[in-house]
Amino acid sequence: MKYLITIIGPTAIGKTALSIQIAKHYNCEIVSCDSRQFFKEMTIGTAVPNNAELAAAKHHFIQNKSIFENYTVGDYEKEAIATLDALFLENDYVVLVGGSGLYVNAVLKGFDEFPAIENSVRENVTANYEKLGINYLQQQLQQLDPEYYKTLSQDNPQTLLNPQRMMRFIEVCIGSGKPYSSFLNQKQHSRNFTPILIGLEAERSVLYNRINQRVDIMMNSGLLHEAKKLYPNKSLNALQTVGYRELFDYFDGQLKLDFAIEEIKKNTRRFAKRQLTWFKRDENTKWFNFETPYQEVFEYINTKTQIT
């Protein structure tokens, strides 16, 4: 049997540290599914593993792409599965770690398949967006797929502000004549591994305090300088993310720096709450307090793999 030990949970909870301990214990490698850590131009604001952590266990999909590449969750699924297939030839265990629920699902269950869309539809949606803005996209999705719009509003409102994702939803609705959500979760892809899902959590006040501290550390480590270098490319899809967007608003003169930092903390806390909502849906996940001794986690994994 091949086992994919999958570490999930909200940002700043300690997933990286646990994944490294598991990788060392089972002498295996780590595959990242954190969509913010793929990009080599983004380091501080995405909290990528530091050099010591990268040296402690071999990692895949860390800063392996450029923000200038058009990299989708579908692309990631294909590359991640190919990587896992190769790793499982050498080892019965691989660790998957990250807080991007969509990317975790792509690996564990497979990415949904959508119909081909005519270029004319795509061009028309793009033209309308450029003329009417994000509000047009939101209104269209609410009209064409009200259930999916409601789901995003409740669980992932940040997506409603992402024009690339929103245009894709609307293209599928218009091009297929069916709601985008009708194509979701239709097909279960076969996998040659058994997932073992482990979630990390903490009391909300503790988690929020860890998030606030992490943002302060990022700022002290040079996040403002990193964001300044990325600012000329602020419209790129990869940069539509918490920690950068607020500082871009500061550079635009829309926010004072102190307020921008507080906005990063607030929006990161909201993001963490949405992550937990997403991950808590899976009843197969075993949840541990983030301070649980590593040995207890190892013992749980052993019970799932029949190791004595």
What are the residues whose beta carbons fall under 8 Å from the beta carbon of 99, sequence distance 6 or more?
8, 9, 10, 11, 15, 34, 275
- Tokens standing for residue 37: 């850590």
Report the C-alpha gap between 81 and 87 in whole angstroms. Answer: 10
Distance of CA 235 to the CA centre of its chain: 19
Report the C-alpha gap between 94 and 75 in whole angstroms. Answer: 20
Tell me: the pLDDT tens digits for 249-283?
Answer: 999 999 999 999 999 999 999 999 989 988 998 89
Instruction: Determine the pLDDT at residue 119.
Output: 86
* β-sheet bridge partners, residue 197: 6
Domain ranges of the chain: 3-111+189-305, 123-183
Burial of 33 (0-12, 13-18, 19+ CB in 10 A): buried
Report the C-alpha gap between 95 and 29 in whole angstroms. Answer: 6
**What is the number of H-type helices and E-type strands within the chain?**
13, 6
CB 278 within 8 A of CB 98: no
The CATH superfamily assigned to 3-111+189-305 is P-loop containing nucleotide triphosphate hydrolases (3.40.50.300)
Tell me: the pLDDT tens digits for 69-87?
Answer: 988 888 999 999 999 999 9
Q: Which residues does the annotation place in the binding site for ATP?
A: 9-16
* β-sheet bridge partners, residue 32: 97
Neighbours of 51 (CB within 10 A): 7
User: pLDDT grade, residue 90 (50/70/90)?
Assistant: very high
Instruction: Determine the pLDDT at residue 307.
Output: 58
Q: Tell me which of 5-14, 16-25, 123-132 is least confident.
A: 123-132
| Sheet of 30-32, strand order | 59-60, 30-32, 93-97, 3-8, 194-201, 286-289
User: pLDDT grade, residue 308 (50/70/90)?
Assistant: very low
Tell me: the pLDDT tens digits for 152-161?
Answer: 887 778 789 8
Q: Which residues does the annotation place in the binding site?
A: 9-16
Instruction: Determine the pLDDT at residue 159.
Output: 86
Q: Which residues does the annotation place in the binding site for substrate?
A: 11-16
Give me the mean pLDDT over the 143-169 stretch.
Answer: 88
Tell me: the pLDDT tens digits for 188-211?
Answer: 678 999 999 999 999 999 999 999
